Structure 1
Amino acid sequence: MSALRATAAVLALFSAGPLLLAAKTPPVDQQLLDLTNDARAAAGCPPLRLNADLSEAAAGHSADMAHRNFYDHTGSNGSDPAGRTRAAGYPGDYIGENIAAGYPSIEVVFRKWMDTTAHRDNILNCKFTDLGIGHANVPGSRYGDYWTQNLGRPPGG
């Protein structure tokens, strides 16, 4: 076997492993959607659907907090959750937002949200129909991991 073929075989071997592992691991947004919908089902609420506009707003807010080292529902530019979701294209004005920082896994984040009244009330609000999820990790930032969950209902929803 030539050195080139041996190198190619080794590269193929090592590159296939992580790809197979990644395929078996559900994405964080699917994990959070599942956790949220399981809790909602237990409370008699309909499931939420992932919404790209809400996710864009959530990801943007998580990144804003991570890169600017703050933790708040008010963005660094003074924006509020409804303003961020509108700017991302979401048509609804019935919006809820949960944020968390400093927790490395979505399971811990979700447990903390369910342990606090305001966060739990958002998750179990049967009027919400859509969900957006954002996560940012910036090593060296104050909290490291920043999470945002946006919940919404479009007009007539």
Structure 2
Amino acid sequence: MTKRSKNLFAKTALATTLAVGLLLPSASYAATTSQIVVKPNDTMYKIAKSNGVSLDALIKANPQVKNPNVIWPGMSLNLPESSATPSQPSKPDPAPAEDNSFASQVVNLVNKERAKEGLKPLTTDAKLTTVALDKAKDMYNNHYFDHNSPTYGSPFDMMKQYGVRYSYAGENIAKGQRTPQEVMKSWMNSSGHRKNIMSANFTKIGVGYYNGEWVQEFIG
């Protein structure tokens, strides 16, 4: 992994965990990342404050910004969110025919959690669902667990390749959970993942599941 990737997604601790996880297929993991598009009158300080992160962390997550005092509308910034959550082994993987059902169940569970907090439900987006499924397949087929894909680049690069437009965007990934309920429990018990799921900035979702790989894509 490049130094830039580590800065973008704060994956140093996660990489260590994954080295163990690859030897223990029954374990499960999760990670999250998100991106925001700068709006008129935004500053790094305002963006950090409104998204609950420190200014220093925001600056470190965006090494491409040479002068933090100079940002402009339309610029994409990475929000520094990432975590890993181990969980217990459970039942075997379901048959591939259930993949679509699993994705739909995750969307329903997401909207149930949002309803508890008085948030509007997310709408399933066809392009975003394709992104999520292709990302899940890419992780499985290329034997990696990371927001950065060797095939598509960052989640945000991938969205743009698929014609997905957004002002806010985020991604949650997980590996090894066997049911929609199990993966949602892992995500909801992690502050970074929960923040993406419960964000009022997001209005659309796409979910992909493939051979134990789970992906949530969010945009707003």
Q: TM-score, normalised by structure 2?
A: 0.53
Match of 1:149 in 2: 216
Alignment of 1:40-79 (within 5 A): 40-77=114-151, 79=153
Distance apart, 1:81 and its partner CA: 1.1
Give distance in 2, aligned partners of 1:30 and 1:65: 20
Give distance in 2, aligned partners of 1:126 and 1:87: 25
Q: What runs of 5+ residues in structure 1 fail to find an aligned partner?
A: 1-21, 138-144
Q: Aligned to 1:100, what secondary structure does the other structure show?
A: strand
Q: What runs of 5+ residues in structure 2 fail to find an aligned partner?
A: 1-96
Distance apart, 1:78 and its partner CA: 5.9
Deviations 1:89-134 (A, max 9, x none): 2111411100000111111001000000100000000110000011
Give distance in 1, aligned partners of 2:216 and 2:176: 15
Give distance in 2, aligned partners of 1:89 and 1:62: 18
Q: Aligned to 2:185, what secondary structure does the other structure show?
A: helix
- Deviant stretches of 4+, over 4 Å: none
User: 1:121 and 2:206 equivalent?
Assistant: no
Alignment of 1:1-157 (within 5 A): 27-77=101-151, 79-137=153-211, 145-153=212-220
Q: Aligned to 2:215, what secondary structure does the other structure show?
A: strand
CA contact (8 A) 1:59 1:135 kept: yes
CA contact (8 A) 1:58 1:149 kept: yes
Give distance in 2, aligned partners of 1:30 and 1:134: 9
Give distance in 1, aligned partners of 2:157 and 2:167: 9
Q: CA RMSD in A?
A: 1.5
* Higher RCO, 1 vs 2 (CA within 8 Å, ≥6 residues apart): 1
Give distance in 2, aligned partners of 1:78 and 1:91: 16
Q: Larger Cα Rg: Structure 1 or Structure 2?
A: 1
Give distance in 1, aligned partners of 2:213 and 2:167: 24
Q: TM-score, normalised by structure 1?
A: 0.74
Greater percentage in helix: 1
Give the partner amino acid of 2:130: E
